[in-house]
Amino acid sequence: MQKNFFMRPFYYTSLALAALLIYSCSGNQEKDSTSKDTSTSESTSKAQVTQTVSYNFPSALQITSLFKKAGLQYMEGIANTPKESSKFSSSFSKSLNLGIYGADLAYCVLSKQSQEANNYVKVTTELASDLGMNRVFNEGQFVQRFEKNISNEDSLHDIITELQMETDTYLQDNDQMHVSAIAFSGAWIEVMYLGSKSFEQSKGRGLSDKIAEQMIYLSKIIAVLKSHEKKESGITDLTKELNSLLDSYNGLESVKKSKAEIKEEDSGVIISLTDEETDLLNKKIGELRAKFINS
């Protein structure tokens, strides 16, 4: 078992899929925010309380970077093909696959696959425009700037960081933070899938540990999604799928044994899985990802 000293996270929104490499040794923080209707109407004797959940998610580039340091290798053909984007018709499927394509963008940028990265910029732009964010891209000329700096990794990071701030503002101002939660779910499972395919090839212990590390955060992702269920009907089925993955992880012998030994103050401990357990979990990740890209 390992102690998890994860990078400093930040709230993840829609196209913040390949942003900010910010590192520190602080842990993740979960926050519950409660808004109250303090109306003093005679007909209302009690304040109405609405509870939402927020969580500081890392970006897809942050997660992919950790996997890369653990041995993630670029493998041609495993990322989702941009040509599939035209089949997504609902706002839910577009939000979900916006996250998936954003993770593929991060994968290509970190692997120095310039032309492939450019293809993913175009498809994420199309999906974001379909979701009403075309103004953000047009005013910032992000696509043009990305193409101009395609070979400069530092510049690409700066451009995407700025894009993140703009999309943050847009989603908050337009009460669409559920899009952020759905997109992050897609990005998370895609990075996990990319890591699983690399592990399948190399059987690297570092990759196995990163996959297990990321499972620590799945319950947080599910909690945020559930707080937005009223905004998007597709979230209910999505949380069921993610819960199924979490159940598979919790059912592994190494996990059950370790959890019985872990003290409450050690809840951030990373559990080491056997290669066979990692393979079983990766199979589940692959099945879930297949549903995502065909939704």
- Tell me, letter by letter, the H, E, C secondary structure of 125-158: HHHHHHCCCHHHHHHHCHHHHHHHCCCCHHHHHH
- Six token digits for residue 10: 């930040």
**159 or 101: whose pLDDT is higher?**
101
In whole numbers, what is the pLDDT of the chain averaged over residues?
Answer: 80
CA distances from 94 to 133, 220, 254, 294 (A): 12, 22, 36, 11
pTM to 2 decimal places:
0.80
Mean pLDDT, residues 240-267:
86
DSSP string over 223-288: HHHHTTTTT-THHHHHHHHHHHHHHHHHTSHHHHHHHHH--GGGTTEEPPPPHHHHHHHHHHHHHH
Distance in angstroms (rounded) separating the CA atoms of residues 65 and 210: 11
pLDDT at 22 over 50: no
- Six token digits for residue 289: 């990802």
pLDDT at 2 over 80: no
pLDDT of residue 230: 93
pLDDT at 94 over 50: yes
Vertex 161: Cα angle to 60 and 221 (nearest 5): 35
Mean pLDDT, residues 216-227:
94
C-beta neighbour count of 122 within 10 angstroms: 17
% of the chain at pLDDT higher than 90: 51
pLDDT at 289 over 70: yes
Phi-psi region of 71 (alpha: psi -120 to 50; beta: other; left: phi over 0): left
pLDDT of residue 84: 80
pLDDT of residue 54: 56
- Six token digits for residue 127: 């999906």
**133 or 162: whose pLDDT is higher?**
133
Mean pLDDT, residues 270-275:
90
Vertex 292: Cα angle to 23 and 67 (nearest 5): 25
Give the pLDDT band of residue 266 (cuts 50, 70, 90): low
Distance in angstroms (rounded) separating the CA atoms of residues 224 and 203: 32
**160 or 231: whose pLDDT is higher?**
231
Distance in angstroms (rounded) separating the CA atoms of residues 293 and 295: 6
